Homo-oligomer: A and B are copies of this chain.
Amino acid sequence: MNRYPGKEKGILIVISGFSGAGKGTLVKSLISRYGNYALSVSMTTRNPRPGETDGVEYFFTDRENFEKTIAEGGLVEYAEYCGNYYGTPKAYVDSKLAEGKDIILEIEIQGALKIKKQFPDSLLLFVTPPDADTLKNRLTGRGTETEDVILKRMARAQEESEGIEAYDYIVVNDNLDECVDEVHELVSAARRSPVRRQDFIKEIREELLTYAKGAQK
């Protein structure tokens, strides 16, 4: 019997959050600390860079095949940046989830909402620093942007903050170590929601019905 959390189908985890919230580091730490997570591998039409391997960093393909995949409904979400397509292959996600892997997608809110529509049992996490000053300090601390660019990113964060209610959980990234454990706890909690325990519900209902019929004799 395959009834206990952790032995079932994986969870599709969508991670969004402000630029500067520390999503990348959080995801890397999560994967290295716990065994059950894997980053989703995107399909792209951009050329491989030296050292990149097809199927590891990306699935590399050409525009014709990418557009054919879109037309066939083979991508759960996609976008075009700088003349190249990037998308999430549905077959890849489905097969990893079936293996029991918890698949992480790091995408923006528009993509997140598309995922939730196609995978109602996906888990949407929004990562945020504890306050706006911390966000600004982190962006400033990178030392690579002008004050003007930083303020534009803050304005972008303000726009993104309008979508927070669409997420299942808000993850405040104050201390990275605690934050990694917190995300892991949220994923464990998610396994207990009825939408992710449908097989269990169906089985126990059938069993109870058998007993209930005995009672009605």
Q: Which residues from chain A sit less than 8 Å from chain B, CB to CB?
A: 1, 3-5, 126, 128, 130-133, 135-136, 148, 151-152, 154-155, 157-159, 161-162, 164-165, 167-172, 174, 182, 185-186, 188-190, 192-194, 197, 200-201, 203-205, 207-212, 214-216
Chain B residues in 8 Å Cβ range of A3: 130-131, 172
* Copies of this chain in the oligomer: 2
Contact A204 B128 (CB under 8 A): yes
Whole-angstrom distance from the CB of A94 to the nearest CB of chain B? Answer: 24
Q: Which residue on chain B has the smallest CB distance to residue A5?
A: B172
Q: Which residue on chain B has the smallest CB distance to residue A174?
A: B4
Contact B207 A133 (CB under 8 A): yes
Contact A193 B211 (CB under 8 A): no
Contact partner, A169, options B167, B192, B205, Cβ 8 Å: B192
Contact B182 A185 (CB under 8 A): no
Contact A151 B204 (CB under 8 A): no
Interface SS of chain A: helix, strand, loop or mixed? helix
Contact partner, A204, options B161, B168, B169, Cβ 8 Å: B161
Q: How far is the CA of A136 from the CA of B207 in the complex (A)?
A: 11
Contact A208 B132 (CB under 8 A): yes
Chain B residues in 8 Å Cβ range of A207: 131-133
Q: How far is the CA of A154 from the CA of B109 in the complex (A)?
A: 45
Contact A158 B192 (CB under 8 A): no
Chain B residues in 8 Å Cβ range of A132: 204, 207-208, 210-211
CB-CB under 8 A for A197 and B211, given A130-B3, A186-B192, A204-B161: no
Whole-angstrom distance from the CB of A72 to the nearest CB of chain B? Answer: 33
Contact partner, A211, options B1, B154, B189, Cβ 8 Å: B154
Q: How far is the CA of A136 from the CA of B167 in the complex (A)?
A: 39
Chain B residues in 8 Å Cβ range of A204: 128, 131-132, 161
Q: How far is the CA of A174 from the CA of B171 in the complex (A)?
A: 30
Contact A172 B216 (CB under 8 A): no
Contact B209 A151 (CB under 8 A): no
Contact B212 A170 (CB under 8 A): no
Given contacts A5-B172, A148-B215, A162-B205, 17 further A-B contacts (CB under 8 A): A4-B172, A132-B204, A154-B211, A155-B216, A157-B208, A158-B208, A158-B209, A161-B205, A164-B194, A169-B192, A170-B197, A170-B201, A172-B200, A185-B189, A186-B189, A186-B192, A189-B190
